[in-house]
Structure 1
Amino acid sequence: MSAARPPAALTRRRWLQAAGAAGAALAAPAFAQTRPISITLPWVVNGSNYWPMVGKELGFFRKRGIDLTVSRGNGSVAAAQAVANKQFDLGVVFFGGTLVNMARGLPLQALATVGYDSLMGNLVLADSPIRSPKDFEGKRVGTVATSAESPYWAAYAAKTGIDLSKVTRQQLDARLIERALMDRQVDAITAIGSSSIPVLDSLGVKTRFIPWSAAGIELYAAQVIARTETIQADPGLCQAMVDGILESVVYTLKKPEESLEILFKAQPEIALAKGGKENARLSQGLAQATMVAPEAIEHGMGYSSIPKLAGMISLAARAGALRADAKPLVPEDLATNRFAGRIRLSTAEWDAVRRNVAPYAKMVGMA
């Protein structure tokens, strides 16, 4: 849907002042009228992306003059396209989706980074003999050609010395890839850890994750994105949305169990599904493990490292994730820190978060 205009009684100038344009205090006044704003998630609502719903339930957006509608997505690439096409005002999209679409010329930019590791890697069963990169040789590796991580498998292999001519690559349907590993039709799969680990765990299948980030093959994860025209014309809206989302993220970091109860109340089908609660808890913990990063700790929530973005552009180009005719990308165009860094956690708060996410960080090789 197109971005809605503020009601007549709420002028643009009053909106910019009230919504907290750059430099305004973080606390926002109560609003007699609110502005309807829509946001899309990258996929179905789950523990790795539900924080805008938490903020909606707790009034973090309403106090900033926003009546927020949260919708599920159909993958980060499609979600980013939906924002660019004005179906939604903003989006929560994994960096890879934004990168691909910006290389196609779509006018998008990230306003804040929430997750700092997309958790690309290989997933194997707990009893698998695969322990090191060279162990993949002679094995069958399942992958989904259209998945976010698939293009980077070859980059990981090149970086770690895997001879892919000795690896059988098996193309799988996205709906069947975890089942193929579970049934031992393949020896390993390429995966996004926060997606595939909870699926198998909810089925009682124990796995081990081999992270590609250990070899320097990494991308940012969830980011808040908007159209460049929205950023230029409505910085007050962008600031209010970033602040509302990051306040929501911090709440889930500090109160993970209370946050999940909000999710189960808002999406009761999750709690009713077999293994649904544990799936949500696990996907939340894995996503939160990626939020503990120097960028957020040193510069404040939402901050993006421009030098790291440059390296990610180079990695995507080498991996073939970008089309040959892709638009040249400038790191500063991919993300702005204009709206980030206003919300910060104390050292003691970060220490508490680290303790909470330690078991999940261990699951994906981050601890």
Structure 2
Amino acid sequence: MSHAAGLVRRVALTASAVIAATLASQSAMAEDINVRFSWKLKGEYGFFYLGEQKGLYKDAGLTPKLGEGAGAQAALGALIQGQEDVVVLPGIFAISAIQKGMPVKIIALYQPTTPIALISHPDKPVKTPKDLEGKTVAHAVGETGTSYLSAFCDINKVDCSKVKKIQMDAQSRVPQFLQKQVDVVSVYRTNDLPVLEERTGTTFPTLDLPEYGLGVPGLALVASNSGIEKKGATLRKFLTANAKAIDATRADPAGATAVLKGVWQGGPSDKVIQKQIEATSASMPSPDGKPMGWIDEKVISNAIELIKLDEDIGSVKPLSSFYTNELLKQ
């Protein structure tokens, strides 16, 4: 080997070593961010996993630690205790918790309106709000779809005294419906409906609640007030990476399905997962001129009015207590 060739080779090796060391350093500098879902894996969470697989969080200097949950209350409790940096849960639950004094804020709202529907049996279809009269409806405490049924009736001029809500355990609602013990049950279009229709081979008559005026804030990201103060830069990077992950999922739902399937032990079929992912993408609007997840103050105030119909909440806190858009600003 000539002296010149040897020199070139040594330079190339040195450059490679520098690049490798730089990449290793960047990886070592990646900051962990603990993210807790409020429930078990479902298609709604697919964009987090696709974003992770595509390196979108790594590019932002983050390593997300994604974990399943066991309900909104448990997730919020872990957030307050400092075990989590972000929790992912229905926005309406966060708003209710904040009104009761929990020191947290919504930092992104991906579903200003929860994609929820009432389904019925083909032989007793409920296709319009008026069709609810004379029907029995499964209800569980804290359940989004039926907790605000009285408001839905008011909006649509339905006589709610003719609608019988039958209270039961949350896990009993769907089995009772399938056994025809009740006429109507609420489901998430982004989760329950694809699973049920595949399992039963039935296309259920569906009454879309948002279509008829019931806007309940859905998929939201929540952080503690102290976390926002101490880790604002980290949360900002996380939200920016989320927006890229959501765009990537819209463009490649099959890819998101494959990635989620890989971590979802005992999950449903690929077909169901992809339907969940596509329904979730359709439920997350891209605000004109605003970043993904931007929170409209009117959505918050309307949600508070809904909560007031369901429970006595006392004097309403200032709207700025419930959310911040500061971490979404570029």
TM-score, length basis structure 1: 0.77
1:45 counterpart SS class: coil
Query: 223, 227, 230: which is aligned to 1:226?
Result: 223
- In terms of mean alpha carbon deviation, does 70-79 or 250-259 score higher? 70-79
CA distance in 1, matches of 2:225, 2:280: 27
Equivalent residue, structure 2, for 1:259: 256
Deviation at 1:341, TM superposition (A): 5.7
Q: C-alpha offsets along residues 189-241 of structure 1, whole Å, 9 cap, x if unaligned?
A: 13333233123112123113212223322122111111111112222111111
The residue correspondences of 1:194-273 to structure 2 (distance < 5 A) are 194-203=190-199, 204-270=201-267
Deviation at 1:99, TM superposition (A): 0.9
CA contact (8 A) 1:134 1:162 kept: yes
CA distance in 1, matches of 2:289, 2:284: 12
Equivalent residue, structure 2, for 1:280: 273
Q: C-alpha offsets along residues 119-149 of structure 1, whole Å, 9 cap, x if unaligned?
A: 2332113443323222222211112223233
Stretches of structure 1 that go unaligned for 5 or more consecutive residues are 1-28, 343-367
Deviation at 1:306, TM superposition (A): 1.2
CA distance in 2, matches of 1:284, 1:334: 28
Deviation at 1:242, TM superposition (A): 0.8
Q: C-alpha offsets along residues 272-311 of structure 1, whole Å, 9 cap, x if unaligned?
A: xxx4323312221221111135xx2432312111122212
Q: Residues 206 and 180 (structure 1 numbering): CA distance in 2 closer, same or farther, change over 3 Å? A: farther
2:134 counterpart SS class: coil
Equivalent residue, structure 1, for 2:9: none
Deviation at 1:337, TM superposition (A): 1.6
The residue correspondences of 1:148-187 to structure 2 (distance < 5 A) are 148-187=144-183
Equivalent residue, structure 2, for 1:302: 293
As a proportion of its length, which structure holds more helix?
A: 2
Work out which of the two has the higher radius of gyration on C-alpha atoms and give 1 or 2: 2
Q: Residues 244 and 336 (structure 1 numbering): CA distance in 2 closer, same or farther, change over 3 Å? A: same
Deviation at 1:75, TM superposition (A): 2.3
Equivalent residue, structure 2, for 1:23: none
CA distance in 2, matches of 1:161, 1:237: 47
Counterpart residue identity of residue 317, structure 1: K
CA distance in 2, matches of 1:215, 1:319: 19
Counterpart residue identity of residue 331, structure 1: L
Stretches of structure 2 that go unaligned for 5 or more consecutive residues are 1-24
Deviation at 1:73, TM superposition (A): 1.3
Q: Residues 142 and 308 (structure 1 numbering): CA distance in 2 closer, same or farther, change over 3 Å? A: same
Q: Residues 304 and 276 (structure 1 numbering): CA distance in 2 closer, same or farther, change over 3 Å? A: same
Equivalent residue, structure 1, for 2:328: 340
CA distance in 2, matches of 1:85, 1:201: 39
Equivalent residue, structure 2, for 1:360: none
Q: Residues 168 and 315 (structure 1 numbering): CA distance in 2 closer, same or farther, change over 3 Å? A: closer
CA contact (8 A) 1:115 1:288 kept: no
The residue correspondences of 1:1-367 to structure 2 (distance < 5 A) are 30-203=26-199, 204-270=201-267, 275-292=268-285, 296-320=287-311, 323-325=312-314, 328-340=316-328, 342=330
Q: C-alpha offsets along residues 155-200 of structure 1, whole Å, 9 cap, x if unaligned?
A: 1122222222222221233223222222222111133332331231
CA distance in 1, matches of 2:216, 2:129: 20
Q: C-alpha offsets along residues 11-55 of structure 1, whole Å, 9 cap, x if unaligned?
A: xxxxxxxxxxxxxxxxxx944422222110121111112322222
Counterpart residue identity of residue 108, structure 1: V
CA distance in 2, matches of 1:329, 1:121: 30
- In terms of mean alpha carbon deviation, does 87-96 or 73-82 score higher? 73-82
Counterpart residue identity of residue 296, structure 2: S
2:304 counterpart SS class: helix
2:248 counterpart SS class: helix
CA contact (8 A) 1:76 1:96 kept: no
The number of aligned residues is: 305
Q: Residues 252 and 319 (structure 1 numbering): CA distance in 2 closer, same or farther, change over 3 Å? A: same
Q: C-alpha offsets along residues 79-103 of structure 1, whole Å, 9 cap, x if unaligned?
A: 2232123221111111012112111
Over aligned residues, Cα RMSD in angstroms? 2.2
Q: C-alpha offsets along residues 241-262 of structure 1, whole Å, 9 cap, x if unaligned?
A: 1112222112111111111111
Counterpart residue identity of residue 291, structure 1: M
CA contact (8 A) 2:38 2:75 kept: yes
Counterpart residue identity of residue 178, structure 2: M
Counterpart residue identity of residue 311, structure 1: N
Consecutive aligned runs of 4 or more in structure 1 exceeding 4 Å deviation = none
CA contact (8 A) 1:34 1:66 kept: yes
CA distance in 1, matches of 2:272, 2:172: 17
- In terms of mean alpha carbon deviation, does 249-258 or 52-61 score higher? 52-61
TM-score, length basis structure 2: 0.85
